[in-house]
Amino acid sequence: MNSAPSNAASAEFQRLAFFGRISASVSHDIKNCLAVINENAGLLEDIAHLASAERPLDPGRVVATASRVKEQVRKADFIVKNMNTFAHSADKPAMTFDLCESVTLLLDLSARLAARKGAKISVTLPSKPLMISASPFRVMQALFGCIEMALAQAGEEARLTVSAASTPSGAQLLVERDAWNGHPLAAEVAELAETAGGVVYLNENGSIVLELGETGNCSCPSMART
């Protein structure tokens, strides 16, 4: 029996599942912002009722409440812009993009998922853009798979460090963990790396190394935020 269709269906399901998990996390964050805005709207309503009853109006309280609303609007706007960039990353199979931006984007979008496990993820990135030619969506999916594997194997309150660097043949993403119990590399992570045009392996310290294709010099369209 030809397994190609089932493999293709499995890969498509993995992409949809990844998109769905990120979307669910983002929608939860937006809902939290709306809840805080709604709470402060109710407070402003109470202040207005007091003022209509000729009670002294506290300008400082009004300003503080309005500031909290503005902060939540700013936060929600940041979240939506990130989600917009993430959604557009799936538009084309390949493009030239800054790997550092995509790493930062993924970690911003998935922060809640890591926090739920009590994990902390720090990041070390080059000061200059690291341009590569690949599918940004699939690269982020592969990195997400690496991070999920590291978190699952490390257990609660894991400490991870994600870093990116240029290599002679392209670029490298490294997921370091504070503890490694000798767990092997998960097969599905290797498949995600291959789909992204790269390879993944464990180094002697148990860190997860994701090697990606060639950097720069590509005729692919550039990825831009909208």
* Residues 20 and 57 both lie in one domain: yes
* Residues 163 and 181 both lie in one domain: yes
Report the number of distinct structural domains present in the chain: 2
Q: Which domain holds residue 67?
A: 7-91
* Residues 100 and 137 both lie in one domain: yes
pTM: 0.84
The CATH number of whichever domain residue 53 belongs to comes to 1.20.5
Last residue of a domain, one of 72, 91, 110: 91
* Residues 77 and 177 both lie in one domain: no
35-55: pLDDT as tens digits: 999 999 999 999 888 888 778
* Residues 149 and 195 both lie in one domain: yes
* Residues 62 and 104 both lie in one domain: no
* Residues 36 and 143 both lie in one domain: no
pLDDT band at 215 (very low <50, low <70, confident <90, very high): low
* Angle at CA of residue 83, ends 188 and 173, nearest 5°: 45
Last residue of a domain, one of 45, 73, 91: 91
Mean pLDDT of 71-99: 93
* Residues 208 and 103 both lie in one domain: yes
Nearest to 192 by CA among 134, 148, 141: 141
Structure tokens that stand for 224 in this block: 């831009």
Q: Do the beta carbons of residue 212 and residue 196 sit within 8 Å? A: yes
Mean pLDDT of 176-195: 88
Structure tokens that stand for 191 in this block: 């498949």
Is the pLDDT at 223 greater than 60? The verdict is no
Residue 97 and residue 47: Cα distance in Å, rounded?
49
Last residue of a domain, one of 57, 91, 125: 91
